[in-house]
A and B are shown apart, each in its own frame.
Chain A
Amino acid sequence: MKKLLLGGAALMALSVGFTGVTTGSAQAQQCTTKIGAVLPTSVDWGRPIAEVAQFAVDQVNAAGGAGGCQIEMVLRDTQVDPKVGVDAARALVDLDGVEVLLGAVSSGVSMPILTSVTVPSETMMMSCCSSSTAFTNLAEQGETKGLFFRTFATTGVQAAVGAKVAADQGWGKVAILYKNDDWGQDMARIIAADFAEAGVEVTGSVALNDAQPSYRAEVAQALSGQPDAIYLALYPAEGTMAVREWIGLGGTQNMIMANSLKSDEFKENVGLQYLAHAYGTDTASPRAESADAFVEAYRARFEAEPTGPGLANSYDAAMLALLAMEAAGEGATGPQIAAAIPRVTDPEGTPITADTAGFAQAKEVLAGGGTVMYQGATGNVRFDANGDVSAPAVIWKFGESTIEEVQYLPLEEVNAIMSDG
């Protein structure tokens, strides 16, 4: 059966090859390989995530493509609807013959895609932003067959560092406001445990549903415990509303923010003057000159700071998938590409930057049988056996024009905090 499927894919690759000939690429390559992307492009914060994935593909094509061919990313909208997302993934795998699928964002969409499309059809899946701990459990049971990866650092890292912020600042009582979805529920659960571990009292944990006209009731509830600080596991839209109401009701300006609030939209709509004591957590780029490559390239391309939720993760997801395709060679299948991931995330390998030059360098090293260490936009990415990523962490603050770094926590230190918790 699989052979037949492959035959279909080969036929399709052939026909694609013909179009490649007729258009005549500048790199003298005569083929195009398709990769799929299923992302919520009809949602405001989803579009930049897709944009930055396409940006990574463009950079790779400028370096001569991956796996001997130019790359075409076929982008499909999920509408954040599992049915639509699964259908899109099915169509990409069956009709476009992709061996690599980027996406999805919501865990509720990624999960059915994983269980009913990519695992049965042996396609590698690389999600930028699905955070649910359910994927780790699934991988531990061996049901992802090593085909699933995600560049979104597990909620555990952020929670551990968030608890550290509260302890360092001497905030003894903290209230939690969280987005009422799988990510937010995970965050709230894990951070509450970490706070308890660090001796910080949690005065209340309140869920915020999406798209409400007001969060006054929820904010008042969180306020009633008279906390020293507030922990925000929210997205910019509801985060802005909740924080405005929080400050309006006389709440403390001591805040700890998850990386989802690392956005100019949030900063501008709340007002920088209220964010002087707001500390954020995030995974970080490694301390190497090359790590700025993504930020600079992004600025040059989009004339903006790469600060929206998931942008760096999406870029790395695309880059890593393409590096693995390069390492696996021409015509590689999903499992072969997935098996090549360690060759491009090898801590002992040649460090490469996250841009066209870095990809070109990686091609040479990989062609010579070597391994590379990808230094990406979210850091020095490394996957564990479950496809979860571990990375250094950073504590940050909003500055006048940029994000200011307060403290950098190398991977060893993050692992130390994590194992304490």
Chain B
Amino acid sequence: MIGVISYLVFFATVASILAIAVLGLNLHWGYTGLFNGGVVAFFGAGAYGTLMLGGAPQPHLGGFEWPWIFALIGGVAAAAVLAWIVGLLTLRLRHDYLAIATFGVAVAFENTMRNAQGFAGGAQGIRGFERPFREFAGNGLGWNLLYLALVLVALVATYLFLERLARAPFGRLLRAIREDEEAARSLGKSPARIRLTSFVTGSAIMGLAGGLYGTFYAFVSPQDVLPILTFQIWAMLIVGGAGNNRGAVAGAFLIWGAWTASGWGLSRFAPVDWQLYAGSIQWVLIGSVIVGMLMWRPEGLFPERVGEDRPQTGRTT
């Protein structure tokens, strides 16, 4: 029984961390209409930033042994700075062009980390990070429970912040830009600045997820920042429902749940001859879920609800 609890705590931690990243993407895509194809770069900046600032000294740059919370903030700041630079350069691009440009940024990020051995450890990645609070929480289930609590606090805080943002005038402004930029401009708003603000904020949230992820594994390597992660986070948002924070969180838990449960189920119930192909079958299952979702419920499990608490504001199309 304790094993099941231990596993569920672990699962909830990873899913919550991913949910934070999905919330960040929801601010980009769901609210502002920014097609960020490079989620993993900002996630990675947070993870690398946190581990480099908070880790023990290594042959490469980093290992400043900052207290964990400052290292995490530093990781978030790293993601925000990266987003600000990328945003200045690319936010004039629309939709698919922005997607391609940000995807390129993510690939460049991964390749930089893979090759810059003196900077970030190269393909071996960064290790030697002391997980926080180990002195009194130990190394086992106790620590995992404590860390889950911390991650949940971060998740709830991010969720409340975005909910507040979405109901605030700023949220309406984001939607206005998403739906019709010309109209927003005609009302005296500056879409370029607002888009950049949204992009940096969302990326900082992804950086927070990355920092929590790096702390949890006490390790990060270029293999953690492959494009598959961008794809996973997008799948979570699409299945959950873009433009709805509750959907973003639910999507993260559902997709990550399906991802892991399918592997577990196949290892347990598939015939022995099929075991070797379970990995491939799992890919097919995951792909089918996403395709099915796009075909039969493209708005996601929790569709966007616009203005239900303010009857006079309808969706501008």
Contact = CB atoms under 8 A, between A and B. Distances in A.
A209 B115 CA distance: 10
Interface in A33-67: 40-43, 46-47, 50-51, 54
A35 to B, nearest CB: 12
Given A4-B2, A87-B11, A182-B122, A77 B217 contact: no
Contact of A11 (B1, B124, B141): B1
A12 interface: yes
Contacts of A138: 127
Interface residues of B, number: 49
B215 to A, nearest CB: 10
A42 B282 CA distance: 9
A38 B11 CA distance: 17
Interface string B274-288: 011111101100000
B123 A184 contact: yes
B222 A108 contact: yes
A177 interface: no
Contacts of A77: 263, 278-279, 282
A94 B219 contact: no
B157 interface: no
A115 B217 contact: yes
A12 B3 contact: yes
A1 interface: yes
A80 interface: yes
A338 B283 CA distance: 34
Contacts of A207: 115
A225 interface: no
Interface residues of A, number: 61
B228 to A, nearest CB: 6
Interface in A80-115: 80-84, 86-88, 90-91, 93-95, 97, 106-109, 111-112, 115
Contact of A82 (B1, B111, B221, B263): B221
Interface in B239-289: 259-260, 263-264, 267-268, 275-280, 282-283
A50 B142 CA distance: 34
A111 B115 contact: no
A84 B263 contact: yes
A41 B276 contact: yes
Interface string B2-42: 11101100110010000000000000000000000000000
B2 to A, nearest CB: 4
Nearest to A93: B3
A253 interface: no
A50 B276 contact: yes
Nearest to A11: B1
Contact of A8 (B3, B14, B124): B3
Given A108-B222, A116-B218, A2 B260 contact: no
Interface of A: 1-2, 4-5, 7-9, 11-12, 40-43, 46-47, 50-51, 54, 74-77, 79-84, 86-88, 90-91, 93-95, 97, 106-109, 111-112, 115-116, 119-121, 132-134, 138, 180-186, 207, 209
24 contacts: A41-B277, A46-B279, A54-B276, A75-B267, A75-B276, A75-B278, A76-B264, A76-B267, A79-B282, A81-B226, A86-B217, A90-B11, A91-B7, A109-B223, A111-B125, A111-B127, A111-B221, A120-B143, A134-B124, A180-B115, A182-B221, A183-B123, A184-B123, A207-B115
Interface of B: 1-4, 6-7, 10-11, 14, 111, 114-115, 117, 122-125, 127, 138-143, 216-219, 221-224, 226, 228-229, 259-260, 263-264, 267-268, 275-280, 282-283
